[in-house]
Amino acid sequence: MTCEKIREELVAYQDGELAEQDQKYVAAHLSTCSVCTQEAAALARVEKMFGSLERVTPSPNFAANFWQRLEHERQPQPENRFAQWWRELRESMTNWHLTPALVGVASVLIFFAALSQRPERTSPTPGPDSSIMKKPETVAKPAMSKESTVPAEVMEKSDLFIDYTVITDLDKFARLEEIAAIDLSTEQPVEVAEAEVPKEVLEDPGFFAQYQILQQLERLKNFDAVLASPSQNDEETQG
Amino acid sequence: MEQREPIAPHDDADVQLMLRFQQGEVGAFQQLFQKYSPSVVNFAGHFLGNRARAEEIAQEVFLQVYRWQTRYEAKAKFSTWLFKIAHNHCLNEVRKGEYRVSIESIGPQEDADGDERERQLPDTRSSKGEDVLAAKQAARRIEKILQRVPETQRTALMLSRLEGMSYQEVAEVLGVTEKAVKSLVFRATQSLKDGLKDIVNPYDL
């Protein structure tokens, strides 16, 4: 090892940070080399001066300031303007004074949501491999009758077809006044076989108007089961 | 250079204090603050050359330790973890560049001719009073030189000399190898020796 390399190791040597064999090697070199020994002495003086540097001590109120600062940090921070506005809004939402207004707003929202989610009355034309082809013909019949009332242009463009049903519904709304003007007294009363209507319903006429609707709903409830069951036509084709 | 086994953190009593603080024992944190805050102020004071800023930095370091209460993981000796935080805060402070280093704030007061008179220090002292004065002037020069040394060298030298850390511990603080620390300490010492050559090698002038 040259003197230059030895000098690079002198600080670590004096710190006792060299490996044992390197410590011995440098010590042996220093015992024979006066120049490196002089360099080691100069470094030792620097170390001694640096080691005698006065410590920077904390001021008397340092600790008290720290604990005060820590205490301040542990306290909840003041709200900014947005947080304050949001909190007040949330609190007012839970205020009972606003309940009627909120119920009104919710009702309007539910009404429009129900309108926008009305089920589509038509289905796209199924492909040859579609399982819909296996559905009973009796179920498909209403759709066929609907098609006859739809213009040919609409049938050609299936994406327009969906909107067409909506438009026809809207058309009904446009004729509301005309419908309201019909004198129901001239209409033939709806004949319902007494045997089909339960006795309780006949005794309470208030239920009578809804009875047919309830019957329809009962059928709709079994709609999936009706679709799944084999129709008479299917049995005939298979037979 | 011989590589040593890393220090087992759980054998460190201060790590145990930090873990007790993690369990909610605030008294353990107070013990750590009392034990280490003077060292952190000393380190930051010599690093920045400004006592007031050093105290602020030390407070921020311990606030960060406090905030780490729930997330702390014992991966190293507490002192190396703490001085890593302190070193990073000091680096951020230097890079902000919002203040000028004022050596006067931590050392003895000097007049405008101080530097010139320091260079004319006699090698042999006639009295104890002169020795004390010379030592103070030398200390002031060391502080000035220290501010010119690159930050990583400065931290390596200060932790090694002022805090008595081994090269291995300094390496953990700086996230470098022990070999790198040996080089950093050597170069920092060389800078000091060159800056103080009229004192350490008076016959070479």
Q: What is the pLDDT of residue A219?
A: 67
At B55, is the pLDDT very low, low, confident or very high (cuts 50, 70, 90)? very high
Q: Count residue pairs from A and B with Cβ separation < 8 A.
A: 102
Helix axes B26-48, B151-161, angle to 10 degrees: 120
Of A9-18, B51-60, B120-129, least confident by mean pLDDT is B120-129
Tokens 């045997």 label which residue? A195
Contact map slice: A 55-94 vs B, CB within 8 A:
55-59, 62-63, 65-66, 69-70, 73
Taking a C-beta distance cutoff of 8 angstroms, is the pair B86, B170 a contact?
no
Distance from CA of B177 to the nearest CA of A (A): 13
- The set of residues, in sequence order, having a beta carbon less than 8 Å from that of A56 and lying 6+ positions away, is B41, B42, B44, B45, B46, B51, B54, B106
What SS3 state is found at B100? coil
- Number of residues in chain A: 239
Distance of CA B123 to the CA centre of its chain: 28
Burial class (CB in 10 A: 0-12, 13-18, 19+), A165: middle
Q: Please tell me the distance from the alpha carbon of residue A114 to that of residue A140, in angstroms, as a whole number.
A: 26
CA atoms within 13 A on the CB side of B177: 6
Distance of CA A166 to the CA centre of its chain: 30
Burial class (CB in 10 A: 0-12, 13-18, 19+), B20: middle
The average confidence (pLDDT) of chain A is 72
Find the helix or strand (DSSP H, E) in which B198 lies: helix B197-200
**Record: contact B66-A52, CB cut-off 8 A:** no
Asked whether this complex has an ipTM greater than 0.90, the answer is no
- The set of residues, in sequence order, having a beta carbon less than 8 Å from that of A70 and lying 6+ positions away, is B62, B63, B66
B26 touches chain A (CB under 8 A): no
User: Cα angle vertex A230, ends A229, A236, to 5°?
Assistant: 165
A51 touches chain B (CB under 8 A): yes
DSSP 3-state helix, strand, coil percentages of chain A (rounded to 5)? 70, 0, 30
Q: What is the DSSP letter of B73?
A: -
Q: What is the pLDDT of residues A122-163, one digit of tens each?
A: 544 444 444 444 444 444 444 444 455 666 766 666 665 566
Cα Rg, chain B, nearest whole Å: 19
A176 touches chain B (CB under 8 A): no
Q: Please tell me the distance from the alpha carbon of residue B66 to that of residue B9, in angstroms, as a whole number.
A: 19
Q: What percent of chain B has pLDDT over 90?
A: 60
Q: What is the pLDDT of residues B158-180, one digit of tens each?
A: 999 999 999 999 999 999 999 99
A45 touches chain B (CB under 8 A): yes
**Record: contact A62-B139, CB cut-off 8 A:** no
**Record: contact B42-A57, CB cut-off 8 A:** yes
Distance from CA of A118 to the nearest CA of B (A): 53
Q: Write the CA distances from A146 to A94, A126, A138, A140, A165, integer angstroms.
A: 50, 16, 14, 10, 10
Q: Which residue of B has its CA nearest to A6?
A: B186
Q: Please tell me the distance from the alpha carbon of residue A146 to that of residue A64, in angstroms, as a whole number.
A: 87
- How many helices (H) and strands (E) would you count in chain A? 14, 0
Domains of chain B: 8-107 (1.10.1740.10)
Q: What is the pLDDT of residues A58-85, one digit of tens each?
A: 999 999 999 999 988 877 766 677 877 8
Report chain B residues whose CB lies below 8 A from the CB of A70. 62-63, 66
Q: Please tell me the distance from the alpha carbon of residue B18 to that of residue B80, in angstroms, as a whole number.
A: 13
**Record: contact B189-A46, CB cut-off 8 A:** yes
Largest CA distance in chain B: 61
- How many helices (H) and strands (E) would you count in chain B? 10, 0
Find the helix or strand (DSSP H, E) in which A193 lies: none
Tokens of A226: 């009706």
**Record: contact B192-A50, CB cut-off 8 A:** yes
Q: Please tell me the distance from the alpha carbon of residue B38 to that of residue B89, in angstroms, as a whole number.
A: 16
What SS3 state is found at A216? helix
Q: What is the pLDDT of residue A237?
A: 45
- The set of residues, in sequence order, having a beta carbon less than 8 Å from that of A73 and lying 6+ positions away, is B63, B66
Domain boundaries, given as residue ranges, for chain A: 3-50, 132-182+198-223
Contact map slice: A 13-32 vs B, CB within 8 A:
15, 17-20
Q: What is the pLDDT of residue A51?
A: 84
Report chain A residues whose CB lies below 8 A from the CB of B101. none
Residues of chain A with pLDDT under 50: 123-146, 234-239
**Record: contact A58-B41, CB cut-off 8 A:** yes
